[in-house]
Amino acid sequence: MKKRLLLSISLCGLVAAGVSYYALADGDALWRIVGEQCVPGQQTQGAPAPCAEVKLPQGVAVLKDRDGELQYLLIPTRRVGGIESPQLLNGDAPAYWREAWAARGFMEARRGQPLPRRAVSLAINSQYGRSQNQLHIHISCIDRTVRQQIDDLDDGLPRRWRLLPVELKGHAYWARRVDADADGNPVGDPFRLLADEMPGARDEMGAYGLALLPASFSDGDGFALLATRVDLLRANRASAEELQDHDCKILRQ
């Protein structure tokens, strides 16, 4: 109880000290786009605009983000608050991360040519490092420096969480290896891997940000799953989106 109280006090301080963007943003903007435009349009006319895609059986929509030439968002077609939502840990929850990985095809289509697998990344921000109250996974390019840091650690990643020996973007991150199936999709659900395997995370899911990065191991391709936790002293909102580069400079190397 004492630990949770201290966490609440710290988070309140972090939110109060945050930039005005988070306070001024319309937190329901994404849900209104998906719930009031994309889904009805798909249901009545088979046209998901302004979304790029609505997959009703899978319960997801893909929307071009206003930031970045190639960034897209994977958004549930039902109301889901964010990473803290208990719905994400239900056995029948949609495979949001798998759908987000598949949606990288929209990045390629917009670019007009294939993307290197290792240039893509997926990220979700914590409850305290986002502007929207609807779950959304960022699909974008990986930051070049972060890419190199993870490349240097690839074969050192175990199939269990460990604190990385280096900071990413000035913040502490935990990481674990995630295998890929025969089709190249991640095996396991990142939300459940965090809740089930990171000590204490299940009770504080909203304090974490997650990122999924393609990785190559000595025995085949897979992914690096990264997690960061809100830290008041380090001004860390756990916005894992910080590991991405919406300008996609990695494609211009």
Domain range enclosing 13: 2-252
156: confidence class by pLDDT, cuts 50, 70, 90: confident
Mean of pLDDT values over 68-94: 97
**Banded model confidence at residue 209, pLDDT cuts 50, 70, 90:** very high
155/116: higher pLDDT: 116
Q: Which residues contact 179 (CB under 8 A, 6 or more apart)?
A: 159, 186, 187, 188, 220, 222, 223
CATH number at residue 150: 3.30.428.30
Answer yes or no: is pLDDT of 171 > 60: yes
Mean pLDDT of the region 15-25: 39
Among 24-28, 110-114, 230-234, the range with the most confident prediction by mean pLDDT is: 110-114
Query: Higher model confidence: residue 23 or residue 108?
Result: 108
Residues above pLDDT 70, as percent of the chain: 90
Mean pLDDT on 64-81? 97
Does residue 145 or residue 17 have the better pLDDT? 145
Sequence-ordered alpha helix ranges (H) in the chain: 2-16, 20-24, 29-33, 39-45, 96-102, 104-111, 144-153, 190-197
How confident is the model over 171-185, as a mean pLDDT? 97
Mean pLDDT within 191-202? 98
DSSP 8-state secondary structure symbol assigned to residue 80: -
Taking residues 132-142, report their average pLDDT: 98
> What pTM was estimated for this model as a whole?
0.90
**143 to each of 68, 108, 149, how far by Cα in Å?**
13, 17, 10
Question: How many percent of the chain have pLDDT more than 90?
Answer: 85
Structurally, the chain folds into a number of domains equal to 1
Q: Is residue 251 within 8 Å of 28, Cβ to Cβ?
A: no
Q: What is the pLDDT of residue 243?
A: 98
CA distance 53 to 75: 10
Model confidence at 163: pLDDT above 60: yes
| pLDDT-based confidence at residue 170 (cuts at 50, 70, 90) | very high
Q: Residue 247 — pLDDT band, cuts 50, 70, 90?
A: very high
